[in-house]
Amino acid sequence: MRRSWVAGGFLLCVSCAHPGPPRTEGISRHVNDVRTRGTDPVEYFVDLFERHKIVVFAETFHPEMTQYEFLMQVLRHPRFQARVRAVFTEIGSRSQQDPMDAFLSAREMRRDPLLTINRNNVIHPEGWPNENILLFWEELWRVNSRLSPEMRIRACLSDIAWDWSALRSPDDYRRRMAQPDVADRDRAMADLIRDTVRKTERAPESGARDRYLVIMNTRHATGTARRASDGSPDRSVGRFLKEDFGADQVWCVLYHQPRMRVSDAERQDGPALIEDGKWDAAFHLDGNRPAGFDLAGTAFGDAPFDYLSVLAANRYSDVFDGLVFWRPLHAFYKYELAADLFRDDAFLAETERRCVVAGRKPMMRKLRERLGEFFFALGTTRSGLGISEAEVRMRFGKWIR
């Protein structure tokens, strides 16, 4: 913390000592691309559905909230509503599609079906605790409530089938985890998306609403990356969809974010910035103005791919087709958890049973008892994601003199 403060202060002093436009070291092309190619990111994103059948949104950390603020703006856009028939999410087991359909078709918005979906999430014994996806689905209900029935947008849960009630012992859990769809979730999710799209478009009422949004964590949204270990094609949802529908019909859009750290040694080094901070420096020099643009032919697209060490590619434009910058990294935040998931004592008891089956230590009951009523306020408590403005500036400041 002290080092970050000193670094941030040093940058401010340099700025004061040298008034006028800063000189950029190695990022002038990045800055020019942001200023000349960057357009309103919501308009950019919605425009993509005019040119491509499927747009894959590469989510950052699952709990992060600004990305879902952006996506909710997209949902509200009239042209999105006019063209897009369904939104597919990685979050949510396909086994819970009935509760989702019931939620979206109800005359009044009730959160109970969404809690059912998140309580029965794939693999996680204590459910999916992140508030942002619940807020996103609630906003989709509001959007649909203002549309005619034939224009309403469907939410399709894409993750693998999962039934906690069928897992009664650790052996049951081990056998389920050894099934092919667990080992190759991306293929299973891509198959569901492909089959649902094709079935939908065979329906006589399909009409002109033949566009689809797919929301996947970045690890699943890559287009044509390779595995660093052996050079084989990465088995990602993005890649499979491009193969199924054609590379130009599926557009993979990266939401600007930090690089992913995968080892404990990497994580100890703190947040890592894409291309050593050049992207963040360029957006900073443009006043952190929200922007969206295609990556091909830009400094961003030509940058050596460094997002994740287990994946290999020559350039970012080989992996992602577009980029959305909505908020600077220091503005990223989350809600602690959807605490109303755990108000039900019967569900708490069920999570403890599941944890025994999965060989994990149960946590939620003890946490609820320790925090008391404050526990139930956590779902509305905003917190940062540990990347301070001083820390981000320290890491990209080398490119600004």
Predicted confidence (pLDDT) at residue 401 exceeds the cutoff of 90: no
What element of type H or E holds 55? strand 54-59
In the block, which residue shows the tokens 């603020």?
Answer: 69
b/e code 284-320 from CB counts within 10 Å (16+ = b): bbbebebbbbbbeebbbbbbebbbbeebbbeebbbbb
As a whole number, mean pLDDT of residues 307-315 equals 92
pLDDT value at residue 329? 96
pLDDT of 269-291, one tens digit each? 667 899 999 999 999 999 999 99
Q: What is the Cα–Cα distance from 174 to 390, expressed in whole angstroms?
A: 45
Check whether 12 has a pLDDT greater than 70. no
Average pLDDT value for residue range 50-75: 97
DSSP labels for 119-131? Answer: HT-SS-TT----H
Residue 356 makes CB contacts below 8 A (sequence gap 6+) with 170, 362
Pair 391, 397: CB distance under 8 Å = no
Q: What is the mean pLDDT of residues 286-313?
A: 96
Cβ pair 104, 144 in contact under 8 A: yes
pTM: 0.91
Across 360-378, average pLDDT: 88
pLDDT in tens, 317-359: 999 999 999 999 999 999 988 889 999 999 999 999 999 999 9
Mean pLDDT of 289-311: 96
Across 211-369, where does the E strand assignment appear?
211-217, 226-227, 250-255, 291-294, 311-312, 322-325, 333-335
* Residue 329: C-alpha distances to residues 60, 61, 131 (Å): 11, 12, 20
**CA-wise closest residue to 62 among 37, 90, 25:** 90
Tens of pLDDT along 165-222?
A: 999 999 999 999 999 999 999 999 999 999 999 999 887 665 668 999 999 999 999 9
Report the pLDDT value the prediction gives residue 194, as an integer from 0 to 100: 98
Percentage of residues in the chain with pLDDT exceeding 70?
90
